[in-house]
Structure 1
């Protein structure tokens, strides 16, 4: 009789266990429960695209303006000019000009006057290399008039010192020997060709009978004549 009484309880337990097993299997089939089957892998919203050729980065555009060229020889803003000599120094504490009185002498508009002496810058002038540095120099004629009849002509070389003409060498041509032209040759030669009027040793001082072409080179503080050639001259 004890076995008959326990039968319904056992049967009820068996039916409950089968029902729970069926529910568990159903949840696994639908993948809705925890630990169920994972969904099929797909592209994640944040995943990157497969590697491939992307757009090339833009190359930097060339600068519109080119770098300025370096100034060439003799083309700087501080280049000497013949006109610029009209207010240049002629005689300093470091340089003496032949036939000029002692002391500092500087032109004002091409002229200096003192102690009965008048010194005038002449129009004959040449620009070019005479001293061997990169900046071009200036060579010009100068006339010194004293209280008498003398009119003494000379040559001066001004070095270009950062745009300022500085007298460094000179030569005296003598009394009443006007200069006709000055030509500064190519930079390699560093020479000045000067044409001026003069006379023979036996000719009177009041006349000129020779047109002389002379070549000078700077040997500071003088301008040294290298050679010359003469041709007859008559006014």
Structure 2
């Protein structure tokens, strides 16, 4: 970036420049590309294919569609209800060792990990050989445009997710709405619509607080 220095001229009359006309900025005060920086300000046009993030960084945001073929479990992240080993989704599914994992349509995009790149939060359903259908949340970190699993949380058995939204500013939090039940309710019914707020503390997603409303199907 070119910078313009502003100085004072000593005219020999006590430091005051009387009647002198300030020189016009020369062509050398223009930055490459023709931007005039003589007023100390820089103007720049954002890249059309990049999302500008707080802190001055630019990175392409993740998309929900990328998660359909993303890695889901690696050496640093183990899903609360998942099997051992590395897991990668293929067209939104993974199956092995009697376990089926399915990516759910609910998804939110925004900064969850504190770097200048929009991450993704998605919901998964883990089905085992029995009647259990365990729902969970996963945060994928944006690693130069590639989703990398960074944190996860379990929502419990038969607790379908309704929606996910991410608030990057002023706090990096995910608001998740899902259906659940009271401690004394049968496992086969849902009686509560819960709105819970999560924050990433790798490798887990920590619930900060939640609010419950009665729910009837």
What is the 5 A alignment of 1:159-174? 159-174=141-156
Distance, in Å, in 1 between the alignment partners of 2:108 and 2:163 is 9
Does the CA-based 8 Å contact 1:177-1:196 persist in structure 2? yes
SS of 1:182 mapped into structure 2:
strand
Does the CA-based 8 Å contact 2:71-2:87 persist in structure 1? yes
SS of 2:68 mapped into structure 1:
helix
Q: 1:134-185: CA deviations, max 9, x gaps?
A: 0011000010000111000000000000011011111000000000000101
Distance, in Å, in 1 between the alignment partners of 2:201 and 2:121 is 14
Name whichever structure is richer in strand by fraction.
Answer: 2
Structure 1 runs not aligned, ≥5 long: 1-58
Larger radius of gyration: 1
Runs of 4+ off more than 6 Å: 62-67
RMSD: 2.3
Closer, same or farther: CA 63–192 of 1 in aligned 2, 3 Å: closer
Q: 2:70 aligns with which of 88, 104, 128?
A: 88
Does the CA-based 8 Å contact 1:128-1:187 persist in structure 2? no
Question: Residue 197 of structure 2 corresponds to which residue in structure 1?
Answer: 215
Give the number of aligned pairs.
177
Does the CA-based 8 Å contact 1:122-1:142 persist in structure 2? yes
Shift of 1:188: 2.3
Q: 1:97 aligns with which of 63, 67, 79?
A: 79
Q: 1:109-157: CA deviations, max 9, x gaps?
A: 1100001110010000000011111001100001000011100000000
Question: Residue 110 of structure 1 corresponds to which residue in structure 2?
Answer: 92
What is the 5 A alignment of 1:19-30? none
Does the CA-based 8 Å contact 2:107-2:123 persist in structure 1? yes
Question: Residue 19 of structure 2 corresponds to which residue in structure 1?
Answer: none
TM-score, scaled to structure 2: 0.75
Distance, in Å, in 1 between the alignment partners of 2:98 and 2:119 is 31
SS of 2:200 mapped into structure 1:
strand
Question: Residue 73 of structure 1 corresponds to which residue in structure 2?
Answer: 52
What is the 5 A alignment of 1:195-234? 195-234=177-216
Shift of 1:73: 2.0
Q: 2:139 aligns with which of 157, 167, 177?
A: 157
Shift of 1:72: 4.7
Closer, same or farther: CA 115–190 of 1 in aligned 2, 3 Å: same
Distance, in Å, in 1 between the alignment partners of 2:146 and 2:67 is 9
Question: Residue 12 of structure 2 corresponds to which residue in structure 1?
Answer: none
Does the CA-based 8 Å contact 1:140-1:156 persist in structure 2? yes
Tell me if 1:191 matches 2:191: no
Does the CA-based 8 Å contact 1:112-1:118 persist in structure 2? yes
Shift of 1:65: 8.4
TM-score, scaled to structure 1: 0.70
Does the CA-based 8 Å contact 1:98-1:172 persist in structure 2? yes
